[in-house]
């Protein structure tokens, strides 16, 4: 029955799209509606749905099989692969129990105290490390703080949402930020200095972190946190994993550029995480065994991101992105505030069905063109679009932290949508408000 409902929704959106777009573009809209419905109602396993674009896109003449399948080998997928190996090693050696014990000793041992501490820790780390890396490092700890399934879900979401929120704090926190700076440089626009960027984003991040803390702890603060953590000395295998993780963090920090002061090492984060993950199979670590531990890797999440990149590629190849741009141009008769709100809503909710990195790569040139032709503040509108691409909280495909929260097994799509829709609307409200009354005076 759920599959029939998904097919019906897909056909409905195909029909609606046919009134405005070409047959090829309408087919893409219908396929996206089908995929999102199947992800949401869980009629089929996550991995199965995520592989469907390889079948559907060529079948409906959207893009060919090779072009679709190439997106399942995107470098960010190997960043996930390495991160998952590290998370498996942390869990296998029970290192997460020691870290959880430290967290409980530093913050109030209440659901609200833990949610705030996890969200803040994740947010701060994401300002200097990528939000993907931060979530991978912390998610294993979050779900072992309690045996209560309701709290596990809220803790996992606190990590994921905190990472997305904190990722905007600095230009290096998340890939869309770097894409914005790259496009600004390409168009000879004045770049936003590192510390000015932080000045602009700190108030927004504080408001959002407070919102996440109260939203996720609502109705759950009376649930006692019962952990089975004992204070023990780290054993040999735990020390190996801990030293490897500390080495990883050090390399990531040194690798991160802080312009104009430091250009970084120029190494790929995907290569760094994959290298450290594979080191767990080698001497002197020898923590993981391929035949046994590789079965724990959530391949479905890796396929999920392949689907996201495939959708973004199809948007570009079918010309649907250009069509959206033309409709945006028709909206330039609106007041700047209403146009700003429209861009924020469009980016936030479109990001839910595709990778934020892929989407912002497509949409920033579009928004630049719209802003130039309408004579509005180009930097302001591009900044709003970039941050909205990170503030999508409803579906696992939207951002890497969302997908990692799903991979923990503690979060369902319905849970994510329930809290995510509220945070999406709050994010739009806070971003537009901050842009209109704060950033406008700076940019």
Residue 17 resides in a domain: no
Please report which confidence band the pLDDT of residue 428 belongs to, taking 50, 70 and 90 as the band edges: very high
Residue 316 resides in a domain: yes
* Token output for 303: 């396929």
When pLDDT is averaged across residues 265-291 and rounded to a whole number, the result is: 90
With 70 as the cut, is the pLDDT of residue 280 above it?
yes
When pLDDT is averaged across residues 82-91 and rounded to a whole number, the result is: 82
Which region, left, alpha or beta, applies to residue 94 given φ > 0 means left and ψ of -120 to 50 means alpha? left
Output 143 or 243, whichever has higher pLDDT: 243
With 90 as the cut, is the pLDDT of residue 393 above it?
yes
Please report which confidence band the pLDDT of residue 380 belongs to, taking 50, 70 and 90 as the band edges: very high
Look over the chain and give the mean of its residue pLDDT values, rounded to a whole number. 85
Residue 24 resides in a domain: no
Please report which confidence band the pLDDT of residue 3 belongs to, taking 50, 70 and 90 as the band edges: very high
With 60 as the cut, is the pLDDT of residue 71 above it?
yes
**Cβ proximity of 92 and 136 under 8 Å:** no
Residue 123 resides in a domain: yes
Residues 158-175 have pLDDT tens digits of 999 999 999 898 876 777
Query: Which 3 state secondary structure label does DSSP give 258?
Result: strand
Residue 168 resides in a domain: yes
For residue 231, the model assigns a pLDDT of: 60
For residue 44, the model assigns a pLDDT of: 92
Q: What's the domain range around 191?
A: 45-441
Least confident of 101-110, 123-132, 200-209: 101-110
Measured between alpha carbons, how far is 179 from 367 in angstroms, rounded to an integer? 13
With 70 as the cut, is the pLDDT of residue 382 above it?
yes
Residue 15 resides in a domain: no
Torsion over CA: 280, 288, 278, 256 (sign): negative
When pLDDT is averaged across residues 210-226 and rounded to a whole number, the result is: 85
With 90 as the cut, is the pLDDT of residue 86 above it?
no
Please report which confidence band the pLDDT of residue 230 belongs to, taking 50, 70 and 90 as the band edges: low
In the chain, what percentage of residues exceed pLDDT 70?
A: 93
With 80 as the cut, is the pLDDT of residue 357 above it?
no
For residue 100, the model assigns a pLDDT of: 64
Query: Which 3 state secondary structure label does DSSP give 262?
Result: strand
HSE (side-chain half, CA atoms, 13 Å) at 278: 8
| Residue closest to 342 by CA, chosen among 356, 363, 313 | 363
Please report which confidence band the pLDDT of residue 25 belongs to, taking 50, 70 and 90 as the band edges: very high
For residue 258, the model assigns a pLDDT of: 65
* Token output for 218: 């609502």
When pLDDT is averaged across residues 218-244 and rounded to a whole number, the result is: 78
For residue 217, the model assigns a pLDDT of: 92
Number of domains in the chain: 1
Residue 122 resides in a domain: yes
Neighbour-count burial of 53, counting CB atoms closer than 10 A to its CB (0-12 exposed, 13-18 middle, 19+ buried) = buried
Residues near 311 by Cβ (< 8 Å), separated by ≥ 6? 32, 35, 53, 353, 354, 355, 358
In the chain, what percentage of residues exceed pLDDT 90?
A: 36
Please report which confidence band the pLDDT of residue 214 belongs to, taking 50, 70 and 90 as the band edges: very high
- H helix intervals, 290-397: 290-293, 299-317, 320-329, 336-351, 356-374, 378-390
Least confident of 140-154, 310-324, 361-375: 361-375
Residue 35 resides in a domain: no
When pLDDT is averaged across residues 341-367 and rounded to a whole number, the result is: 82
With 90 as the cut, is the pLDDT of residue 64 above it?
yes
When pLDDT is averaged across residues 382-392 and rounded to a whole number, the result is: 92
| Residue closest to 128 by CA, chosen among 250, 273, 305, 261 | 250
Torsion over CA: 141, 146, 150, 154 (sign): negative
DSSP 8-state symbol, 94? T
Which region, left, alpha or beta, applies to residue 360 given φ > 0 means left and ψ of -120 to 50 means alpha? alpha
Residues 241-268 have pLDDT tens digits of 989 988 987 887 788 776 667 777 888 8
């Amino acid at each position: 029955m759920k599959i029939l409902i998904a097919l019906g929704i897909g056909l409905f959106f195909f029909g609606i799209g046919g009134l405005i777009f070409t047959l090829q573009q309408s087919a893409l809209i219908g396929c996206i509606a089908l995929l999102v419905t199947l992800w949401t109602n869980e009629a089929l396993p996550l991995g199965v749905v995520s592989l469907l674009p390889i079948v559907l896109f060529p079948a409906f003449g959207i893009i060919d099989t090779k072009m679709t399948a190439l997106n399942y080998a995107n470098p960010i997928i190997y960043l996930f692969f390495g991160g998952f190996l590290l998370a498996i090693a942390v869990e296998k050696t029970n290192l997460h129990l020691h870290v959880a014990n430290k967290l409980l000793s530093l913050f109030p041992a209440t659901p609200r105290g833990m949610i705030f501490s996890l969200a803040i820790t994740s947010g701060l780390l994401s300002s200097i490390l990528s939000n993907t890396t931060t979530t991978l490092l912390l998610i294993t700890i979050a779900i072992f703080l309690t045996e209560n399934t309701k709290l596990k879900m809220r803790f996992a979401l606190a990590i994921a949402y905190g990472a997305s929120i904190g990722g905007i704090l600095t230009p290096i926190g998340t890939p869309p930020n770097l894409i914005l700076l790259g496009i600004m440089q390409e168009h000879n626009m004045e770049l936003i200095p590192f510390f000015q960027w932080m000045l602009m984003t700190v108030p927004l991040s504080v408001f959002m972190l407070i919102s996440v803390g109260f939203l996720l702890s609502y109705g759950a603060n009376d649930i006692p946190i019962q952990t089975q953590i004992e204070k023990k000395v780290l054993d040999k295998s735990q020390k190996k994993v801990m030293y490897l993780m500390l080495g990883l963090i050090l390399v990531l920090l040194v690798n991160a550029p802080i312009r104009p002061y430091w250009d970084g090492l120029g190494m790929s984060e995907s290569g760094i995480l994959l290298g450290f993950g594979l080191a767990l199979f080698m001497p002197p670590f020898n923590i993981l065994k391929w035949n046994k531990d590789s079965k724990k890797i959530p391949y479905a999440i890796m396929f999920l991101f392949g689907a996201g990149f495939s959708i973004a590629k199809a948007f570009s190849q079918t010309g649907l992105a250009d069509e959206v741009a033309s409709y945006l141009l028709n909206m330039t008769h609106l007041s700047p505030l209403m146009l700003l709100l429209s861009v924020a809503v469009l980016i936030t909710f479109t990001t839910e069905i595709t990778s934020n990195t892929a989407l912002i790569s497509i949409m920033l040139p579009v928004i630049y063109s719209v802003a130039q032709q309408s004579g509005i503040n180009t930097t302001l509108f591009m900044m709003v679009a970039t941050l909205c691409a990170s503030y999508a909280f409803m579906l696992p495909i939207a951002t890497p932290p969302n997908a990692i929260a799903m991979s923990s097994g503690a979060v369902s799509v319905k849970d994510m949508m329930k809290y995510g829709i509220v945070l999406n609307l709050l994010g739009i409200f806070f971003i537009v408000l901050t842009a209109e009354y704060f950033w406008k005076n700076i940019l």
